[in-house]
Amino acid sequence: MRLPWHAPAPIKQRGVALLIALVVLAIAATLSTAMIWSRELDVRRFANIKQGDQALEYALGAEAWAEQILRRDFQSNSGITDLIQDWAMQLPSLPVQGGSVTGRLEDLQGLFNVNNLASNNAPEAAAALAQFQRLLVNLNLDPDIANAVRDWVNTGDQPHYPGGAKDDFYSRLDPPYITAEQPMTSISELLLVKGVTPQVYAALLPYVCALPLQVPGSQPEQILNALAININTAPAAVLASLNSGITASAAEAAVQTRMQQPYQSLNDLTRLWHISPAAGVQTSLTSSYFQLTAQVKIGSTQITLYSLLYRTSQNNGDGATVAIRRTFGTL
């Protein structure tokens, strides 16, 4: 008996079937890869969130530690603030679970407060302007920048010459903007002011700050006087700016002297220099404003926290310290 004969499938049909199988395999492989990649992204995203949360908690822990150190030093040293106290000691990198924490404190009242130019006390504002001009000269910078900063932090339509600038100048820039006409909230705001290039800003940054002219929590009209400069923590260039008769070498000598024995009286500098700070320039032996810079590394995550700390050093305060401003990554 003869079996029925079946013709072989055409070669073209077999090729199409193979192609379909390969396409299905490619689609399956692509979907599988996408699923694996999506899962890896989810894992990494979760890890980054977890590490970021851990880093933030460590940074806030460093802030709480700084607050306690500042309060303890105030109570242990009769309110005097100097650079041989515990708060000023640079700590080594501290290991924590999964990474490390580093931090340092800086006394901002050892620096020139640009917001002193906005004081409601006219003699103090004028003295601050002259002091800022002296500081700029000491740093080999253009003293006319002082007028530009004064115009930035004060109201009024007319710029002060030489070097001043108001809306008429800034509105013609690209991009245009207008004058703040209020005290600076961050020292980085200087970069918006006429004459302050990135190079000038970098030269000024170690010697200037932007601090409020009122006690946190008080009414704005209560305290609008210039903040005093702490002679125990001010760098030499700031000390030299206290009076035009103070030379750079005399300021350096004052810095070296206080490292051996911090000043206990404002008259100590007068006896050392045989010259007093210029009229209207405020000096002090204590400080209320500090900046904490805390850097935390957890795994591949790194954050930098800048905390502006306020200590109740004035008017018989007990040294209690709180954070009044926090920024991450930039001043």
Q: Is residue 6 part of a domain?
A: no
pLDDT of residue 223: 47
Under the banding of pLDDT at 50, 70 and 90, the label for residue 303 is: very high
In-domain check, residue 12? no
Examine the domain organization and report whether 79 and 90 are in the same domain.
yes
End-to-end, the C-alpha distance of the chain in Å comes to 98
b vs e for 101-114, b when ≥16 Cβ sit within 10 Å of the residue's Cβ? bbbbbbbbbbbbbb
Q: What is the pLDDT of residue 100?
A: 95
pLDDT band at 189 (very low <50, low <70, confident <90, very high): very high
* 253 burial level (CB within 10 Å; 0-12, 13-18, 19+): middle
Do both 197 and 297 map to the same domain? no
What's the pLDDT score for residue 41? 63
Round the average pLDDT of the chain to a whole number and report it: 88
Whether residue 177 is found in the same domain as residue 271: yes
Closest CA to 208 of 200, 220, 219: 200
Mean pLDDT, rounded, for 80-100: 91
Confidence of residue 3 (pLDDT cuts 50, 70, 90): low
With 80 as the cut, is the pLDDT of residue 38 above it?
no
Reduced to 3 states (helix: H, G, I; strand: E, B; else coil), residue 219 is coil
Whether residue 126 sits in one domain with residue 260 = yes
302 part of a folded domain: yes
- Domain co-membership, 272 together with 137: yes
- Assigned domain for 202 exists: yes
pTM listed for this prediction: 0.84
153 and 260, same structural domain?
yes
pLDDT tens across 224-234, in order? 578 899 999 99
User: Is there a domain that residue 30 lies in?
Assistant: no
Contact 150, 140 (CB under 8 A): no
Q: Which of 78-82, 131-135, 190-194 has the lowest mean pLDDT?
A: 78-82
The reply to whether 174 and 322 lie within a common domain is no
User: Residue 101: helix, strand or coil by DSSP?
Assistant: strand
List the CATH number of the domain containing 151: 1.10.40.60
In a domain, 232, yes or no: yes
Could you tell me if residue 205 is inside a domain?
yes
Task: Report how many domains make up the chain.
Answer: 2
**Mean pLDDT along residues 138-160:** 97
With a pLDDT cut of 90, the percent of the chain lying above it is 71
Domain CATH number, residue 98: 3.30.1300.30
Query: Are 190 and 299 members of one domain?
Result: no
Question: Where in the sequence is the domain holding 104, given as residue range(s)?
Answer: 53-108+289-328
Instruction: Provide the pLDDT for residue 111.
Output: 98
- The mean pLDDT of 85-94, rounded to a whole number, is 90
What's the pLDDT tens digit per position in 159-180?
A: 999 999 999 999 999 999 999 9
My answer on whether 119 and 222 are in the same domain is yes
Res 101: pLDDT: 95
pLDDT in tens, 245-274: 999 999 999 999 999 999 999 999 999 999
The pLDDT-based confidence of 13 (bands split at 50, 70, 90) is: low
**Separation of alpha carbons 70 and 109, rounded Å:** 14
Contacting residues for 313 by C-beta, under 8 A, at least 6 apart = 74, 79, 81, 286, 287, 288, 319
Token pair recorded at residue 280: 């209207």
Mean pLDDT of 192-204: 98
Q: What is the predicted pLDDT for the residue at 222?
A: 46
How far apart CA 149 and CA 143 sit, in angstroms, is: 11
The pLDDT of residue 315 is 58
Specify whether 255 is located in the same domain as 317.
no
Query: What average pLDDT score do residues 310-319 get?
Result: 77
Residue 26, domain member (yes or no):
no
pLDDT (mean) for 174-189: 96
- Region 231-240 average pLDDT: 98
Distance CA 52, CA 265 (A): 46
Q: Check residue 314 and give its pLDDT.
A: 61
Q: What is the mean pLDDT of residues 194-204?
A: 98
Grouping H, G, I as helix, E, B as strand and the rest as coil, residue 325 is strand
Same-domain pairing of 254 and 154: yes
Q: Is the dihedral of CA 142, 137, 107, 278 positive or negative?
A: negative
- Pair 91, 185 in one domain: no
